[in-house]
Amino acid sequence: MERGVALITGASRGIGKEIAITLAKNGYDIALNYRGEMDITAEEIETKYNIKCALVKGDVSSFEDCERFVKQTISELGRIDVLVNNAGITKDGLLMRMSKEDFESVIGVNLIGTFNVTRHVIPIMIKQKSGRIINISSVVGVSGNAGQTNYSASKAGIIGFTKSLAKEVASRNILVNAVAPGFIDTDMTNVLSDEIKENINTQIPLKRMGEAKDIANAVKFLASEDSSYVTGQILNVNGGML
């Protein structure tokens, strides 16, 4: 069984929560970052999965918040072996109607947030001479999508960030990869109408949306020793869309 400490951002629900549960089941002590409210206590997680857990509240778009909750993770759990940059938001709309605030807030959380957390974790991993950084991108970061210029730009930026950082830190035994989900059945897609969902499914060769566990299993692979010669890669998990 794998053992280490994983910090997951945006872990209160959806894909982030599923990633946290999957890594906990595989023996990782975990730090769960969240911005709003968590519906579970650290004690409940520790008891259920027989691990150590820290709840580290903070907004990833704030450089200072990230410094604080990374330090809290080290204080409570001692090290960080795996960082999963999962926190993300959408504020969709056609560019001609998109406000400056909606563009900047999505970039701020999704892309700048990935930088903010990673910037504070990298010195720790360099000192440890090991680490795994797994960034959550998106199929639309590769393909683009009408009505999502802000979101697509942020997720495309994460791909460039991933490939560049992988080259910077490979000599320190730190692996940097990304997972690019397709359409996944989460709160983000639940707001879509049945008609839109059906249209999406026609574009997917497997004819269905993915589940959060599909992304969590990809993260589990990239966090494990099975991926020890994999870095700078984008793992597309999209049912054959792209």
Which residues are catalytic, by number?
Answer: 151
User: Helices (H) and strands (E) in the chain — how many of each?
Assistant: 10, 7
Contact 199, 143 (CB under 8 A): no
Q: How many whole angstroms separate alpha carbon 85 and alpha carbon 115?
A: 9
Q: How many whole angstroms separate alpha carbon 164 and alpha carbon 155?
A: 14
Per DSSP, 184 falls in state B
Contacts of 43 (CB under 8 A, 6+ apart): none
Contact 2, 224 (CB under 8 A): yes
Q: Count CB atoms within 10 A of the CB of residue 205.
A: 9
